[in-house]
Amino acid sequence: MSGPRTISNPDLTVGADNKQRWNQPAHRRHGFHNAHHLFRRALMVRSRNVLMLEPAKHALTDQPAKLKDLLTHPAFSALCCIQGNRIVMEAAAVDFTTTTPHSIQSVSKLHIHLIVGLLLEQGLISLEAKVVDYLPDIGTGYAQATVQSLLDMTVSNDFSEDYSDPQSDCYTEEIALGWRLPANNLAETTLVDFTNAIPGFKSTHQRGHADYKSANTDVLTRIAAAVSPKPLAQLIEDIADAAGYESAFHISRSPDGFPAFSGGGCLSARDLARFGLLFARAGCDISGVSFANEAFIAHSLSRNAPKLTPPKDWLRYSNHLMTDGRFVGHAGYGGQFLMVDTQSGTSCAFLSVLENDVGYDDCYMALVAQSLRELCDR
């Protein structure tokens, strides 16, 4: 008698383009709208208290023309802009809502900014220290890099993040993030093994532009886990409580249990905007009590840091956030952007799903960032 029939999980199995099904163009929109159900494993957190929102007394009618175009773009999923506890503007595609979880991809990296700030405040981490000081087993690609260089994306090594190259290292990284299965029934790579295997560190002077590598975030995640007196899962709960999410925060996990801060987060548009208010409130939680490292946030906005590559070179990459000194936020693969105006206290979350082959378009992302900046100006 033959045994039961099994197949490799179709959502997590890679195809000929070296992408798992949920990230292939024909399935990507469904994938980003349901990533919290599709990851290999994930952590889910709810907030103890919810920041209640109310409509603004006067609707924003003077929308930037570029934003109007984005709201009708086939990629568009949802937009939510909050000021204080007022919804200044909100919109969603016909197949989505502003309260449904969505993959936020690299916007998740802002969690590392908050966590490192808390560890600095406690004297548990030094920005001048080298990675090997905290992770003695780390490989040659990161051992001699400083914590500051990881935070600013100025590390030079052999990790590649080229979305147009199906064999780029960032796709191999997805096995360690819990996003896909390895081919040929091989064992799943842990985050420790993946980061330890990266070679090719090159000592360089301060570069003009950031050299974006999501593996930097993975290494920072390991450092945070090594020095924090609280487990990373508890720190995620603390951040959720400080933000006051209405729905759940989901984040994928590596085979060895690390949360995928480099891109595994899922939040609704409303909750992502709530998260952004942590920066608009200079690090205070929903009760107005100091939570994040206010001095670290302020210094990150004002300091000299490497620029992003054109056409987003009006933004600098500083301590794991993007800023021009007034606006702060982060972009995410596939079409995500969180933009916070620290002057007006406005937080704008934009979610979308690009369905081109690579899942990314630098000009589109620049348009999103510029449109959100103009929206905050209104």
Residue ranges of alpha helices (H) inside 283-357 are 294-302
Which pLDDT score is estimated for 263?
A: 98
> pLDDT tens digit string along 298-322?
999 999 999 999 999 999 999 999 9
Which pLDDT score is estimated for 206?
A: 59
Which pLDDT score is estimated for 185?
A: 83
Instruction: Please report which confidence band the pLDDT of residue 166 belongs to, taking 50, 70 and 90 as the band edges.
Output: confident
> pLDDT tens digit string along 59-96?
666 778 889 999 999 999 999 999 999 999 999 999 99
pLDDT over threshold 90, residue 183: no
The stretch 169-190 carries a mean pLDDT of: 93
User: DSSP of 20-55, one letter per residue?
Assistant: BGGGSTTTHHHHHHSHHHHSSSEEEEE-SS----EE
Measured CA to CA, the distance from residue 322 to residue 373 in angstroms comes to 13
Which pLDDT score is estimated for 16?
A: 76
**Where do the structural domains in the chain lie, given as residue ranges?**
28-377
pLDDT over threshold 90, residue 377: no
Q: What is the mean pLDDT of the chain?
A: 95
pLDDT over threshold 80, residue 148: yes
The stretch 171-199 carries a mean pLDDT of: 95
pLDDT over threshold 80, residue 108: yes
The stretch 321-328 carries a mean pLDDT of: 97
Instruction: Please report which confidence band the pLDDT of residue 205 belongs to, taking 50, 70 and 90 as the band edges.
Output: low
Q: Which option is the CATH number for 28-377: 2.170.190.11, 3.40.710.10, 3.90.79.10, 3.40.1390.10?
A: 3.40.710.10
Measured CA to CA, the distance from residue 184 to residue 41 in angstroms comes to 20
Encoded tokens for 255: 């085979």
Which pLDDT score is estimated for 358?
A: 93
The stretch 126-145 carries a mean pLDDT of: 98
> pLDDT tens digit string along 8-34?
999 999 987 889 999 999 999 999 999
Q: Which amino acid is at 293?
A: N
> pLDDT tens digit string along 251-300?
999 999 999 999 999 999 999 999 999 999 999 999 999 999 999 999 99
What's the sign of the alpha-carbon dihedral 258, 262, 263, 266? positive
Which pLDDT score is estimated for 327?
A: 97
CA distances from 45 to 51, 83, 178 (A): 15, 24, 18
Measured CA to CA, the distance from residue 223 to residue 120 in angstroms comes to 12
Which pLDDT score is estimated for 365?
A: 96
- Phi, psi at residue 25, to the nearest 5°? -50, -40
- pTM for this one? 0.96
Which pLDDT score is estimated for 64?
A: 83
